[in-house]
Amino acid sequence: MASSTQIPAPAEPPHKSHFKYTVQKGYFLQSEDSTDDKEFDFRKSNFGLINRGYDTDHSAEEAEEQWKRFERYVRTQNESAKDGEFFKVLFLGRHGQGWHNVAETKYGTEAWDCYWSALDGADGIIWADANLTSTGQEQAKDVRTLWKQQLPHGIPPPETYYVSPLTRTIETADLSFQELDLPPGKEYKPFIKELLREALGVHTCDRRSAKSVIEKNFPHVTFEPGFSEDDELWEADYREPRTARRYRLALLLDDVFANDENVFLSLTAHSGAIASILEVFGHRAFALETGGVIPVLVKAEKVRGEREKPPKEPSAAPPLCDKPPQ
């Protein structure tokens, strides 16, 4: 069993096989069609865990905490799974409010998309590889408070902490997990994954810093093998379409499910990345506010052969304008 202290190197290139994913409904409220994502508050509902029984419950264990019974159920599912079949619980966390979010609100989405988003900043605001605002920091701390409340009740702490390389996501993960009293072997050790990014291109807030800069600012992170010094994915004049983003996140998930034996995982990412992950899983659309978290229980079945790559589409960004629209 791989632990959070060591991430296994890829044993098999993801392109030689891929996974079919199926959301297991009936375990988290966010997976249910009846849940209103605009009204739902994961902080007031135990991360959304549904209060229910499991076929792994025993009479002597009925008084156990819900999270402990859920963990036993999920691990038992894995123990009895067929070869090439896996069950994992992913806590998908969106970063807290960043300065790019403030700027888009300030200028309006139309002007942001066609003008301001291509700049590094303006009017005293810097949004290139944006930092968290004080509001964003508090949102991440709220998540930490929820974990702190739930740990004594048996919530399984993540065994692996995957984090996007963008500054706001690393800051969010740090504020969410770094000061928790975690059990031995489950310590917070952020593992940077290049593909766990927001839509690529045009918007400077989605252009990551150089590896050396990230290392200087966050010396405690670990980079996946082959992580490049410079951002080789971001293009100034091409915005990644949704189909391409979905494919990229599917490759990320195939990599994780093929090479990480851990069961409970944390992925700190972005609204677009999380939307694509949910789409790959076949999960219902579920909007996340900045700082929001959605857990998903998913079954993966290994499929031989390459995942089909979508054809390249035109840029998803509107044409850049010389000045913002009035």
**Active site positions, annotated:** 95, 198
Give the span between the Cα atoms of 166 and 217, in whole angstroms. 12
Instruction: Name the 3-class secondary structure at 86.
Output: strand
Say how many residues make up the chain.
326
Closest CA to 30 of 219, 320, 274: 274
Supply φ then ψ for residue 200, to 5 degrees: -90, 145
Would you call 44 helix, strand, or coil by DSSP?
helix
E strands, the chain, are 17-23, 85-94, 121-122, 125-126, 160-163, 190-192, 222-223, 264-269, 293-304
- For residue 170, the SS3 value is helix
Do the Cβ atoms of 199 and 316 come closer than 8 Å? yes
Please, what is the Cα angle at 11 between 6 and 12, to 5 degrees? 145
What is the dihedral sign for C-alpha 53, 54, 55, 59? negative
Check if the beta carbon of residue 161 is closer than 8 Å to that of residue 312.
no
Provide DSSP, 114-156.
HTGGGSSEETTEE-TTPPB-HHHHHHHHHHHHHHHHHGGGTPP
Encoded tokens for 125: 């605001």
User: Would you call 74 helix, strand, or coil by DSSP?
Assistant: helix
Select from 123, 236, 221, 124 the least CA-distant residue to 166: 221
- Residue given tokens 């593992």 in the structure block: 191
